[in-house]
Amino acid sequence: MFGMSLDIGIDLGTANVLVYVKGKGIVLREPSVVAVDRDTNRVLAIGEEARQMIGRTPGNIVAIRPLREGVIADYDITESMLRHFIEKVVGRRFVFRPRIMICIPSGCTMVEQRAVQEAAEQAGARHTQLIEEPLAAALGAGLDIVEPRGSMVVDIGGGTTDIAVISLGGIVTSASLRVAGDRFDEDIIAYVKKEFNMMIGERTAEEIKMRVGAAFVGARNEVMDIRGRDMLSGLPKNVQITTEQAAAAMHESVAKIVSCVKKVLEDTPPELAADVMNCGIVLTGGGAMLYGLDELIRKETDIPTALAEDAMSCVAIGCGMALDSFSKFDGKAKNIKTGH
């Protein structure tokens, strides 16, 4: 059994939930998907098991993603999901309720923040605290955020892109954009529908993004065979998709992220902007792994840009690191909140 008090950091993402336990590191990484029986409203599966069901279930079973664009879209299901993951980590009969640090996108409204906090408390947290994603991402990427020096982090998750310049442990300028990894997938689905008259599912779109996708045309040259349903005949059909096509499909969304990065740079005080020029921009989050995105941002901003080492886990690791300074972030989290 764990010690007296258990501290958990949760990266409650639109696409994945990662749980960090103090002293153990990341102990759980599962998709934020819940399978529900529509007729009885019973939760049938959560996480990876539910993800396997996406697009493959009988009519009465729906695979729901309770978080959309970084915020809770379905409160009860988010709560069941959180409870399931907490129980998985802490054990069924948690004698000591854990203290939990949860990540939220920097553009979250007070109402959205309260929903996250309440869901965690309903799910069994003794005390919940929120930390903004860019802060957690910067911590997890190993940036020294307490120094009076500007660091810039671009965290591209499934639902939101959070961009921030951080100094002295706080966010100086930031922007949150509801365009991220999921939007790339939607772009690809729409493109395939328009170009090939074919329907593909979320999972196929994600595979295209990872295997042949790129942030700009010419970043790489890959080809992939995909299967889907012909919209005219209704029968399965095969087509080939190239990097050029996938990049074209995502072009608009990628451009939005790049221009948002530029905008945050423009709003940054000159001294801190100079720091960012020297130290570079760090990319974190699963969406940041889009092939060539670092190169594109480097080209567009003239600032060295690098993908963090374990981009997918940065936010969760940062959440865990913030646990050590629970009290220190107390004030921070409050300050940040009133900022919106």
Residues annotated as binding site? 14-16, 158-160, 206-209
Indicate the length of the chain as a whole number. Answer: 340
Give buried/exposed letters for 21-52 (b at 16+ CB in 10 A, else e).
Answer: bbeeebebbbbbbbbbeeeeeebbbbbeebbb
Question: Measured on CA atoms in the order 228, 229, 235, 241, is the torsion positive or negative?
Answer: negative
Whole-number Cα distances in Å, 254 to 6, 167, 220, 249, 297: 40, 27, 16, 10, 10
- Kindly state the helix (H) or strand (E) to which residue 80 belongs, with its residue range: helix 75-90
Provide the Cα torsion 329, 117, 15, 315; round to 10°.
10
Q: Which of 324, 2, 322 is nearest to 130 (CA)?
A: 322
CA-atom Rg of the chain in angstroms: 20
CA distance 116 to 177: 19
Which residue numbers belong to the known binding site for ATP?
A: 14-16, 158-160, 206-209
Question: Measured on CA atoms in the order 24, 26, 32, 37, is the torsion positive or negative?
Answer: negative
Question: Exposed/middle/buried for 53, CB within 10 Å: 0-12, 13-18, 19+?
Answer: middle
Give the angle subtended at the CA of 234 by the CAs of 212 and 209, to the nearest 5°: 15
List the structure tokens of 203.
Answer: 């999972």
